[in-house]
Amino acid sequence: MFEKIKKQLSTIHEQSKEASAVFKYIGPGILVTVGFIDPGNWAVNLAAGAHYGYSLLWVVTLSTIMLILLQHNAAHLGIVTGECLSEAASKFLRPWLARFILGTAMLATIATALAELLGAAIALNMLFQIPILLGAVITGIICTLMLWTNAYHRLEMWIAGFVSVIAFSYLFELSLVKVNWHMAAVNWVMPSLPGGSMLVVMGILGAVIMPHNLFLHSEVIQSRQWNLEDPQLIVKQLRYEFLDTLFSMSIGWAINSAMILLAAATFFVTGMPVDELQQAKEMLVPLLGANAANIFAIALLFAGFASTATAGMAGATIFAGMYHEPYDMKDIHSRIGLVLTYMPAVLILFFVTDPFFGLILSQALLSVQLPFTIFMQIYLTSSERVMGKYANRPSTRLILIGLGVIVTLLNLFLIYEL
């Protein structure tokens, strides 16, 4: 009997060790998910729900499925090679091709930073009546200092946690508004393209599958410096990383869907026009009452700061990778990459006359760059020269190529529509 109890206790102990080990590998996906609740997402989701009701929910579903596969594939490269996507591109691609693709990735990161800076600036304007341009400059300076001194890493979980609480308030509010769940269920899986919706469709796609997040995920996952010589450890990392990605991206799908559902139930059914991000505070009124505007602005501010910081990290990662170096804010190339991400974004804002449209357009521009990053990533992760025995299987490669083709066709259709 004692032997049986001892055996059971031993089994429980091993299971608890296995469960606790999962948390050792959780984190990179959560960091990437910060991009799901950035100001750009808020703008395109608000536009989608307010102007087209439930009809664009399928874009969130498709984008999230694509995102899970692509983010896992990017992390796959980081785990196996110990290099981020930018480093691997500089090492294994022809120099002119690597410079071209990484250069376009830097432009996409600037577009991302533009949206994040603009969102934080709108929040500062709502809270303190600070002019939009001055707010963007203040945000850029603060995030630069946070990353330059590595202070962001100490604040990262607090910021992400606070923003997540506010985001989940959107999920909770679904019980307080009248949602047509039958129509929502149909549109989650049934593609449709209402007239004039293509820019918003590409905005959602670019806001969910963000090029800079593919580079960032590969950097964050490999920066842990695990033993790359231990095949068992690599397999375990790959397994737990996929769970991390699946869990994190599913949260992102729920949050994005909730924003569209609330916008549809709040604005679309009443025919209320939406032309500025500040109007999204109306979605929180049933939950937060008269304090909705301030709570919304605070959430937007934290979302703007968190996502501006991750955009800066991604820009620094891409630029440092061009010189075969990892992200390290003590290194000159990472610092130059950070400045090259923020400075052009702030300068562009001086020419943006319509902030809400600027947010949507910036997200659509991200989708234009996506095919370059996707096909480069597929080439690298499918190469035995790069990945060894962990290279993509033919079936995986075919699926990823299919995703790249879908994104490319959608981009071509957007150009045709414009």
CA distances from 228 to 1, 238, 300 (A): 43, 12, 40
pLDDT tens digits, 211-265:
888 888 777 766 555 545 556 666 666 666 777 777 777 878 888 898 899 888 8
What's this model's pTM, rounded to 2 decimal places? Answer: 0.81
CATH 1.10.4160.10 fits 27-417, yes or no: yes
* DSSP state letter for 326: -
Compute the average pLDDT of residues 194-203.
84
Q: With contact defined as beta carbons under 8 Å apart, do 201 and 366 qualify? A: no
Q: Where are the domains of the chain?
A: 27-417
Burial class (CB in 10 A: 0-12, 13-18, 19+), 17: exposed
Helical spans, DSSP H, in 129-230: 132-148, 152-173, 181-189, 198-208, 211-222
pLDDT tens digits, 288-331:
566 666 777 787 888 788 888 888 989 999 999 999 888 888 88
pLDDT for res 41: 78
- Of residues 418 and 135, which shows the higher confidence score? 135
pLDDT for res 2: 44
The average confidence (pLDDT) of the chain is: 80
pLDDT tens digits, 271-290:
777 777 766 666 666 655 66
Please state, in angstroms and rounded to a whole number, the distance separating the CA atoms of residues 159 and 355: 24
Kindly give, in sequence order, each residue whose CB lies less than 8 Å from that of residue 97, ignoring residues fewer than 6 positions away: none
pLDDT for res 392: 92
Percent of the chain topping pLDDT 70: 75
Q: Could you tell me which of 173, 166, 186, 243 has the C-alpha nearest to residue 61?
A: 186
